[in-house]
């Protein structure tokens, strides 16, 4: 019973964190259009370095700007990736009947060979 309660508690914590992450992503516009995602990325690039500097000042750490890694340049188009995924799924669905027929014929041949 104790192990069950611990595992349930862990599951609830993980579920809460995952839900919070999805909410924050939705709230910041990361799940919207490509334009909204680009705007959210621009905001993050502007906000993170001052926030890091504020925390290091608060904690008493001395961090120089040269020590901080530069913000990575991300050239990622969400709409292009989505379109590529849609094309891949649609092409797979378009050949599915043909492949199903081929696999059925191969299956019948295999069963006939086993029966002989």
Of 49, 65, 88, which one is at a domain's C-terminal end?
Answer: 49
Per DSSP, 36 falls in state: H
Is pTM beyond 0.85? Reply is: no
Per-residue pLDDT of the chain (116 residues; tens, 9 = 90+): 567 777 788 888 888 888 888 887 777 777 777 777 777 777 777 777 777 777 777 777 665 554 556 666 767 677 778 888 888 888 888 888 888 888 899 999 999 998 87
Range of the domain at 83: 77-115
Domain count, the chain: 2
- Any idea what the Cα angle at residue 115 is, between residues 114 and 116, rounded to 5°? 95
Per DSSP, 72 falls in state: P
In 28-64, which ranges are continuous DSSP H helix?
A: 34-59
Q: Is residue 55 one of the residues assigned to a domain?
A: no
Q: 78: exposed, middle or buried (C-beta count within 10 Å: 0-12, 13-18, 19+)?
A: middle
């Amino acid at each position: 019973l104790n192990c069950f309660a611990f595992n349930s508690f862990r599951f609830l914590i993980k579920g809460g964190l995952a839900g919070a992450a999805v909410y924050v992503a939705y709230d910041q516009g990361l799940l919207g259009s490509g334009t909204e995602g680009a705007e959210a990325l621009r905001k993050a690039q502007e906000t993170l370095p001052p926030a890091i500097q504020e925390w290091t000042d608060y904690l008493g750490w001395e961090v120089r700007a040269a020590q901080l890694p530069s913000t990575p340049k991300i050239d990622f188009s969400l709409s292009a990736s989505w379109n590529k995924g849609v094309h891949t799924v649609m092409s797979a669905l378009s050949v599915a009947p043909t492949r199903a027929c081929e696999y059925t014929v191969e299956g019948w041949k295999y069963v006939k060979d086993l029966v002989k």
